[in-house]
Structure 1
Amino acid sequence: MRMTRIGIIGGGQLGKMMILDAKRLGYYVVILDPNNHCPAHSIADEHIVAEFDNINAFFELASKVDVITYEFEHINVDALKSLEEKGHSVYPTSNTLSLIQNKYIQKKWLKEAGIPVPNFIAINSINDLEPEKLPFSFPVVLKTCTGGYDGKGNYVIKSPEDIENAYKTLGEGKVPLMLEEFIPFEMEISVLACNDQNRKSILFPIAENIHVNSILDETIVPARIKESMAAKALKVADDVAHQVSSCGMLCIEMFITKDGNVVVNEIAPRPHNSGHYTIEGCYTSQFEQHIRAIVGLPFGNTELIKPTVMKNIIGQINIDKDVEVEGLYEALTGGQVKIHLYEKTSVSIGRKMGHITACDTTIEGALEKVRNAHAKIKFV
């Protein structure tokens, strides 16, 4: 029997973009999000307004749909497990989320599976950060094991003098911490993968990612790397995808090191910001692929149509309400770009407000298009 109803935990921009493809394929979509005016609210068929730790709301969502997915990983694993125990379909599964949600557990699992990752240790107290106890030299990276994103929850410790401030900044042990060796990298890349319900995998092209202040600024596809390095990266991504036991999109973020190796930084069990280029750049977007997978449809073609660049629109000021966009007419003049605005009701510094995509016969041409358009847009 064909599934016809999809539940999404989270109503942010990723949920919204999932819905756009789900509706085009004829699905009814119910979202769960505590914000009455979240980006996905305006296009969802139903919106359950509830907190993400409200297990009763999870079961209400399950009662309305055939399959449940989620747009971010900082949610209650036990609640998802309870849904599965009652026979509800959840993709990715609670087991997959339990392995990925905590970065220390994620790294341990990847290492045990033979996936190349940075060296790391658990940090139980500030005493574990004493220089003579560390198995690797400075600089090192202190991380919260849960909750971090866009550079939040990370602190690069360059010398012993930074230790106390780093520990204090990341909660003084109130949340689990881990320490990683600092990887001197040539480039940050990511590969999107998708598993179907039979654990068959498919990969998207390699994306080159440029970060500013630890937030993704631009994604360039194809990544500007040698064929031999591309082969290594795709092999690692494929290996990771085959370790994941449930269906749906997966983003594998990696470093290309200065000595020519590929190291996995972290993975996310969902569509990802670095995959937004697929909407215009590939025959099948990451969002359509995710929907196809969780409802049991065959994979779409993941080939790149032509060189593509995505540039995020990041908040540069703080505006609490009544946000307006200026420069949209000028940015769209000439028809050179696609602009996606997320309909967020407030702006804050570092917040993702939208993105711009351009395709061209060359990477340089696509870069010029998105940068020109980006320069014309501002929030007031």
Structure 2
Amino acid sequence: MNYFSSDFKLGILGGGQLGKMMLYSTRKFDIQTYVLDPNDEAPCKIACNTFIQGDLMDFDTVYNFGKQVDVLTFEIENVNVDALEKLEKDGIKVFPSSKNLRVIQNKAKQKLFYLDHNLPTSEFSRFAYASEIEDAVLNGGLHFPFVWKSAQFGYDGNGVKVVRNLNDLKGLPAGECIAEELIDFKNELAVIVARTPDGDVKTYPVVEMEFHPEAN
């Protein structure tokens, strides 16, 4: 397959700013780009070849979109992973894989992955329901302060809250979550690592992350 020809179709699930930055590169080559996003005014709309408005969490929408392209990727983790798995079985190349996304989509699974592979991470407790957190505090199994994180669908400060007392627990979503030890750290660093199907690895320069102290 020639990845740099008009015969090659790249599908992107999510049409936000990250996708738009990806399109800056694809437009340098003769690559057809397809984008799926629920927002008709998504940033990617003006830069892709084909824009389709649709629900990223709907199985049929994601599956039918993926059948149109040669390689499918995503710029947001909140997409229907079952549809990605079915597309892979049908021969559509999906990067990153549905197997990896299943771990990435759930913060509790992420933390367990770290433990299983001896990767350093902060201490945490896993809860099926947020209501169980108060019981854990009152029983002495959990101590303030800690960071509450929704297990799924959190991003850019959404689904994350520093909890310093019982009042901070009010209004938290009821679903699966983790309570993570509050870590005193100096800097947060990020690095992008890319890997080809053949195993060639490229590491890009490390950058420092900066966050708004309240908006997270």
TM-score, normalized by length of structure 1? 0.52
Task: State the distance in 2 between where 1:41 and 1:200 align.
Answer: 32
Q: Please report how far the alpha carbon of residue 59 of structure 1 lies from its aligned counterpart in structure 2 after TM superposition.
A: 2.8
Task: State the distance in 2 between where 1:196 and 1:214 align.
Answer: 38
SS of residue matched to 1:35: coil
For residue 172 of structure 2, what is the aligned residue in structure 1? 170
Task: State the distance in 2 between where 1:169 and 1:153 align.
Answer: 12
Structure 2 runs not aligned, ≥5 long: none
Paired residues of 2:147 and 2:179 also in contact (CA < 8 A): yes
Structure 1 runs not aligned, ≥5 long: 217-380
Task: State the distance in 2 between where 1:84 and 1:28 align.
Answer: 20
Task: State the distance in 2 between where 1:150 and 1:34 align.
Answer: 18
Tell whether 2:197 aligns with 1:192. Answer: no
Matches within 5 A, 1:111-150: 111-124=115-128, 125-126=132-133, 127-130=135-138, 132-134=140-142, 137-150=143-156
What are the Cα deviations for residues 308-355 of structure 1, in whole angstroms up to 9, with x where unaligned?
xxxxxxxxxxxxxxxxxxxxxxxxxxxxxxxxxxxxxxxxxxxxxxxx
Task: State the distance in 2 between where 1:16 and 1:10 align.
Answer: 10
Paired residues of 1:143 and 1:170 also in contact (CA < 8 A): no
Q: Please report how far the alpha carbon of residue 11 of structure 1 lies from its aligned counterpart in structure 2 after TM superposition.
A: 0.8
Task: State the distance in 2 between where 1:73 and 1:36 align.
Answer: 19
Q: Please report how far the alpha carbon of residue 155 of structure 1 lies from its aligned counterpart in structure 2 after TM superposition.
A: 1.8
Match of 2:68 among 61, 64, 70: 64
- Pair 129,75 (structure 1): closer, same or farther in 2 beyond 3 Å: farther
For residue 41 of structure 2, what is the aligned residue in structure 1? 37
Aligned-residue identity in percent: 32
- Pair 106,23 (structure 1): closer, same or farther in 2 beyond 3 Å: same
Task: State the distance in 1 between where 2:162 and 2:63 align.
Answer: 41
Task: State the distance in 2 between where 1:129 and 1:146 align.
Answer: 23
Match of 1:106 among 84, 107, 110: 110
Paired residues of 1:150 and 1:214 also in contact (CA < 8 A): no
Paired residues of 1:5 and 1:27 also in contact (CA < 8 A): yes
Task: State the distance in 1 between where 2:17 and 2:69 align.
Answer: 21
Paired residues of 1:148 and 1:154 also in contact (CA < 8 A): yes
What are the Cα deviations for residues 19-48 of structure 1, in whole angstroms up to 9, with x where unaligned?
121121220001111222211111111111
What are the Cα deviations for residues 125-170 of structure 1, in whole angstroms up to 9, with x where unaligned?
2323335112xx4321111111122222122122xxx23x333332
TM-score, normalized by length of structure 2? 0.89
Q: Please report how far the alpha carbon of residue 80 of structure 1 lies from its aligned counterpart in structure 2 after TM superposition.
A: 0.9
What are the Cα deviations for residues 189-235 of structure 1, in whole angstroms up to 9, with x where unaligned?
1121112112332222221122113557xxxxxxxxxxxxxxxxxxx
Paired residues of 2:57 and 2:78 also in contact (CA < 8 A): no
Tell whether 2:61 aligns with 1:53. Answer: no
Tell whether 2:28 aligns with 1:24. Answer: yes
What are the Cα deviations for residues 248-269 of structure 1, in whole angstroms up to 9, with x where unaligned?
xxxxxxxxxxxxxxxxxxxxxx
> Hey, which of these two has a bigger chunk of strand by percent?
1
- Pair 206,111 (structure 1): closer, same or farther in 2 beyond 3 Å: same
Task: State the distance in 2 between where 1:215 and 1:28 align.
Answer: 37
Query: Amino acid of the residue matched to residue 128 of structure 1?
Result: A
For residue 201 of structure 1, what is the aligned residue in structure 2? 201
Task: State the distance in 2 between where 1:17 and 1:65 align.
Answer: 20
Number of aligned residue pairs: 208
Q: Please report how far the alpha carbon of residue 87 of structure 1 lies from its aligned counterpart in structure 2 after TM superposition.
A: 1.4
Task: State the distance in 2 between where 1:129 and 1:147 align.
Answer: 25
Match of 2:160 among 147, 151, 154: 154
For residue 7 of structure 1, what is the aligned residue in structure 2? 11
Task: State the distance in 1 between where 2:214 and 2:205 align.
Answer: 23
SS of residue matched to 1:205: coil
Compare CA radii of gyration and give the structure with the larger one.
1
Task: State the distance in 2 between where 1:209 and 1:53 align.
Answer: 29
Task: State the distance in 2 between where 1:130 and 1:193 align.
Answer: 43
